[in-house]
Amino acid sequence: MRIAAGLLLSLACAFGLAAQGSAGQDPGRRAGAVVNRLPDWRENTAEAQVVRRELQPLIIAAMATLDAPRRQDVLDGKGAIAVIYPDIGEPYRSIFSKIIEGIQEQAKVQISIYPVGPNSNAGDLSAQLTRGGVRVVIALGRQGLKAVSGLTPDIAVVVGGVLSVPESESRNLTGISLTPDPALLFALLKRLLPGIKRVTVIYDPQHNDWLIKLAREAAKAQGLELVTREAHDLASAAHLYDAAFAVADSRQDAIWLPQDATTVDDETILPLVLKESWSRGLPVFSSSFLHVKKGVMFALYPNNLGLGRDLASSALSVLSGESRKRGVSPLREVLTAVNLRTASHIGLNLDYQQQRSFDFVFPEP
């Protein structure tokens, strides 16, 4: 009986504090928090019966703050969040698993997880989600986004784990890209190399026009001139890189490699850029972790656990009825990587304390 009394006291205090400390908070979430604690004590023991009997007044008081439909949703366990992710092999499986771990850490409601393959039936998935009372879906990766394309308008979609979403689609979505925020890239560039005044980027507008719009504002905030060049194929991209290096001044210029399959090809473009960068002592930074190992000076890359937490926060905001920001935002939960050999070659010698500020240092000690 002492155990039951302790559980009762803890639960009552938890609900009481929640009710006092969140006057503007959605009462449905408070009521659901109490109800969601009950299954742990549903076994038919004397102590469980005491807990249920003593908690009943608290539950009734909480549920009274809700209208009838939402009251029933809480009792049915509805209003939950579902995660749709691609059922694929490594290394991508581990990436999605880490994002899902972050979602589960941050979420305060039940999470349902649905792996989908390339041939998954969107109609069957929609019916399954509707039966489960799901109100918000977090769609991860291209397959996850494709799988939710046929959902009813009653189910909101938060997208993550993709580099970009066509503007025509993103208007109706909320989400976070895997592409690091240019503001974070430029801030790190200025911290490492304060003398840099101009950044050149070559990009395919079909994929990254949205990113360049953000980059222009971010560059202005750092006192940088952003030189943008559009390319629609590898051949034109290669010519534009040659032209950029021909006029660059290593004392004040830098080149940014975005995540862009058209203009940053690892087989053709990257070796060309790295060769010119090394011979001219010109800093190159990237939005891809793998480029650092190959010789780029520094990069930002996704903190998958942090991304999951941010996606969960967005989904919870939608679930609680808050107005949501439409469109896909750049990634701000990032990790940093630096290539010490390349940095030293261009005259940037990082001391031990500076090296420790990076999440990954290459060559590894």
Q: Could you read off the pLDDT of 8-34 as tens digits, one per residue?
A: 434 444 434 344 444 444 444 444 444
Q: Which residues pair with 115 in a beta bridge?
A: 85
**What three-state secondary structure class fits 261?**
coil
Q: How confident is the model at residue 151, as a pLDDT? A: 83
Pairwise CA distance, residues 336 & 259, whole Å: 16
Residue 242, class by beta-carbon neighbours within 10 Å (0-12 exposed, 13-18 middle, 19+ buried)? exposed
Task: Round the average pLDDT of the chain to a whole number and report it.
Answer: 81
Does residue 341 sit in helix, strand or coil?
helix
pLDDT at position 164 is 80
Our CA angle for 360, 179, 278, nearest 5°, is: 55
Strand order in the sheet with 334-339: 225-230, 198-203, 253-257, 284-286, 298-302, 334-339, 360-362
Mean pLDDT of 157-169: 82
Phi-psi region of 328 (alpha: psi -120 to 50; beta: other; left: phi over 0): beta
* pLDDT of 310: 96
Tokens of 191: 């911290």
d(CA 357, CA 362): 13
Token pair recorded at residue 26: 């959605």
The beta-carbon contacts of 50-59 under 8 Å, at least 24 apart in sequence, are 50/1, 50/4, 50/5, 50/8, 51/4, 51/7, 51/8, 51/11, 54/8, 55/8, 55/11, 55/12, 58/11, 58/12, 58/15, 58/34, 59/31, 59/34, 59/35
What is the tens place of the pLDDT at every residue in 186-226? 999 999 999 999 999 999 999 899 999 999 999 999 999 99
Closest CA to 210 of 255, 172, 165: 165
Lowest mean pLDDT among 139-153, 200-214, 318-332: 318-332
Q: What predicted TM-score, i.e. pTM, was given to this entire model?
A: 0.76
What is the length of the chain? 365
More confident residue, 109 or 128: 128
Residue type, 301: Y
Q: What is the pLDDT of residue 221?
A: 97
